Amino acid sequence: MTVAKDGNDLSNNVIKIEDARELRELGLQILPIVDVALSAKSERFFHNADSRRLAFYTAFVDYSRSPTRKQFRQMTRALTRIDRILAGVAAFASPDYGEGVALRAWFSVHVAPFVKFWSEMLADVEAGESPTFTMTREIFDGWGLPTSGHSPPTAA
């Protein structure tokens, strides 16, 4: 049995080598595997990000049906609200170091590319371009991105 300084048993705290390699390729830290509940603040980050994502897609659909300046501003505001959540996550200082690192890692892999992609799309529209991309039903179910002529976004 391997025991940490705080007395916790670490013998079940392992990660598969394939998973570790994949995490390293993504530039993410390899964290110990723990099974803990998230703090209420972390849960709010997830909840707020998801509700803002839904607000963005609602604004996107509204703009697609009626492309007015007002609808465009609604999309831009919705995306800005998601970006503010990213800033909040980046500044989050959890008493549990692992929770903070895991939260920032998840948001940098899922939410940051979403904000980057849509920011580029909206900037193109603002510049008078007509970007094209393929939307699928699955994209609306999570943080997935449509395919486009843009290079794949990376975490900011």
Query: Quick one: what percent of the chain has pLDDT higher than 90?
Result: 37
**Same structural domain for residues 13 and 50?**
no
For the residues of 65-120, what is the DSSP string, one character each?
HS--HHHHHHHHHHHHHHHHHHHHHHH---SSHHHHHHHHHHHHHHHHHHHHHHHH
Cβ(63)–Cβ(71) below 8 Å: yes
147 sits in which H/E element:
strand 147-148
Pair 61, 20 in one domain? no
118 within domain boundaries: yes
Q: In terms of domains, do 64 and 120 share one?
A: yes
For residue 74, give its domain range: 38-148
Indicate the SS3 state at residue 16: coil
> Is 51's pLDDT higher than 90?
yes
Answer yes or no: do 25 and 46 share one domain: no
Instruction: For the chain, state the CA radius of gyration.
Output: 19
What are the tens digits of pLDDT across the range 118-153?
999 999 999 998 887 777 777 777 787 776 654 433
Look at residue 144 and tell me if it is in a domain. yes
pLDDT of residue 149: 53
Q: Is residue 52 part of a domain?
A: yes
Residues 59 and 13 reside in one and the same domain: no
CATH code of the domain covering residue 74: 1.20.120
Half-sphere exposure of 86 (CA within 13 A, CB side): 20
Query: 137 with 98, same domain?
Result: yes
155: pLDDT strictly greater than 70: no
Is 154 inside a domain boundary? no
Considering the domain boundaries, does residue 155 fall inside one? no
Number of domains in the chain: 2
pTM of the model: 0.70
Q: Which of 44, 77, 42 is nearest to 58 (CA)?
A: 77
Whether 112 shows a pLDDT value over 80: the answer reads yes
Question: Are residues 42 and 19 part of one domain?
Answer: no
* 69-91 and 40-65 helices, crossing angle to 10°: 160
